[in-house]
Amino acid sequence: MSAITTAFGLVFQPSVLVTILLAAIFGLVVGAIPGLTATMAIALLVPVTFFMDPVPAVGAMVTCSAMAIFAGDIPGTLLRIPGTPASAAYTDEAYTMTRNGEGEIALGANLLFSVIGGLFGTVVLILSAPVLAEVALQFSSFEYFWLALLGLTCAVFIGTASPVKGLVSLFIGLFVSTIGLNNPAGVPRFTFGNTELTGGVNFIAAMIGLFAVSEVFRFVISRSVQATPQAVVGNLFRGWGRMIVQYWRQQVRGNVLGTIIGALPGAGADIAAWVSYAVSKRLSRTPEKFGKGHVEGIVESTSANNAALAGAWVPALVFGIPGDSITAIVIGVLYLKNMNPGPTIFLENPQYIYAVFIIFILANLVMLPLGWAAIKGARTILRIPREILMPCILMFCIVGAFAINNSAFGVAVMLVFGVLGFLMEENDIPVAPCILGIVLGPMLEENFVTSMIKSDGSFLAFFERPIAAGLGVATLLVWFVPVLLAALRSRQAAIPREG
């Protein structure tokens, strides 16, 4: 009980609450501006959290990401441009509703079900994380190796259009993680005598480059003209009671599916929203209404993307395996704050875990008033000229990358990854697996080498412990089932032609 009391004490301090409030406003504004993603919001926030205590740092990131994912719905509804990729699944639907004069219903549904989805995901996080941590205490290097590999595998096969290009991104990330002295033998690798590189490639600088600087490059070459948003005049709270009652099934389904997809390593809020929208349409009694300004699919998928955020924290806190690119960044920050994720944190520093839970609940509750204010102020936010905003963002990126080690080397790393991220996205190579590779690389290598030494080089040892075997089989299934299915399908397609 005392840990919970301590946690309340840690969170309910004026400085922490003000930090959370500021992070919330920042997340809302960044999420609402098209071209600036939730991940970018976190990337810009990390250099600032660097200088905070663990609890406000985590609080700022949790709140900022929740707000940004919700706020992405606003420009989607008013401009038909999703503010973050997580809103893309139902942007057309929401915009059609606005054109039909039902914009306030769409935005009201976005706000209401984002809050409910977020709270549902939080409850699952609170209930499941400690239980899983008990199990995880029994884990050895074999289990952790498979978990890390399963996480990376999911990132490649679930989150990407082309698994080969996802793999390329992943291997680039893993390669980057090998640079420096941080390896089982402690020898410098790929440093070529550069003393700055012996410490490894700083992941914060890399991430600012991949997620923020690459967006600046993309903006520079884009020819999009800033559109004027549609106006929303009506009462946002109209029809809330009716929607909760009428669409309770959709909500529950969206919440559950969102949390599960979020908890799957490598798949985050955007995939949760796409899958939920598709499921909603397939199971709907009136699928013909979808795409014509019908709120049903929005309810389900907007619940899912916010539920996914909390779901992603389950593997992140319990195993140190990120559920999506946002938690990948968070895990890096947790290590910096000596809040190393993993089952032992539940024993050694339970007050931090409870503090995270409390912050999650708080963040979702303050979303109601702040989200309402953001919708009301949307026209102003969307009028901020992006040609002024983007140069300023670049300067914040530079200073953020500099602040990590107070050296210009961080800025150079940021620039290299900015160019790399830009080129990768231009060629449909996703960047999310790359950041997961950088974060999980050291864990994967350490557990692999330790396991190989323990087992005297026998691969069979990786399947000898029951949980390790289960995880191993699951990983191999994700690898081989799609290949087998594709082979089967091509055989079936070939048979009638032969006959």
Partner 1 sequence: MRVNDAVIGILLLAFAIATFAYARTLPAIPGQEYGAAVFPMLIAVGLGGCGVVLVASGLRHWQGAVVWSDWARTHHSWTKLAVVVGLVMTYILTASTIGFVPVSILVLLIFLMMMRVRWWIAAAAAIATTMLIQQTFGGLLRVPLPLGLLGP
Residues in contact with partner 1 by CB under 8 A are 47-48, 50-51, 164-165, 167-168, 171-172, 174-175, 178, 183-187, 189-190, 213, 216-217, 220-223, 385, 387-388, 390-392, 394-396, 398-399, 402-403, 406, 408, 411-412, 414-415, 418-419, 426-428, 444-445, 448-449, 452-453, 457
DSSP 139: -
| Cβ closest to partner 1, residue 408 vs residue 485 | 408
Q: Measuring CA to CA, how many Å separate 192 from each of 154, 198, 226, 281, 310? A: 33, 9, 46, 55, 41
Backbone angles phi and psi of 303, in degrees to 5: -65, -45
Interacting residues of 37 by C-beta distance below 8 A, sequence separation 6+: 31, 68, 72, 84, 85, 211, 215
| Cβ closest to partner 1, residue 81 vs residue 404 | 404
C-beta atoms surrounding 3 within 10 Å: 15
In the bound complex, what is the minimum distance in angstroms from residue 204's beta carbon to partner 1? 13
| Cβ closest to partner 1, residue 134 vs residue 428 | 428
In the bound complex, what is the minimum distance in angstroms from residue 388's beta carbon to partner 1? 5
Q: 315: buried, middle or exposed (CB in 10 Å: 19+, 13-18, 0-12)?
A: buried
- For residue 274 the two structure tokens come to 């796409």
Coil, strand or helix at 127: helix
| Cβ closest to partner 1, residue 209 vs residue 293 | 209
| Cβ closest to partner 1, residue 111 vs residue 444 | 444
Q: 337: buried, middle or exposed (CB in 10 Å: 19+, 13-18, 0-12)?
A: middle
Q: How many residues can be counted in the chain?
A: 499
Coil, strand or helix at 185: coil
Measured CA to CA, the distance from residue 419 to residue 422 in angstroms comes to 5
In the bound complex, what is the minimum distance in angstroms from residue 43's beta carbon to partner 1? 15
| Cβ closest to partner 1, residue 368 vs residue 384 | 384
| Cβ closest to partner 1, residue 209 vs residue 311 | 209
| CA-based nearest residue to 375, from 115, 53, 17 | 115
Give yes or no for a contact between 79 and 31, defined as CB atoms under 8 angstroms apart. Answer: no
In the bound complex, what is the minimum distance in angstroms from residue 400's beta carbon to partner 1? 8
| Cβ closest to partner 1, residue 47 vs residue 258 | 47
In the bound complex, what is the minimum distance in angstroms from residue 190's beta carbon to partner 1? 7
| CA-based nearest residue to 41, from 24, 53, 57 | 24
In the bound complex, what is the minimum distance in angstroms from residue 457's beta carbon to partner 1? 6
Residue whose tokens read 């009428």: 246
In the bound complex, what is the minimum distance in angstroms from residue 485's beta carbon to partner 1? 18
| Cβ closest to partner 1, residue 150 vs residue 394 | 394
In the bound complex, what is the minimum distance in angstroms from residue 427's beta carbon to partner 1? 6
In the bound complex, what is the minimum distance in angstroms from residue 441's beta carbon to partner 1? 8
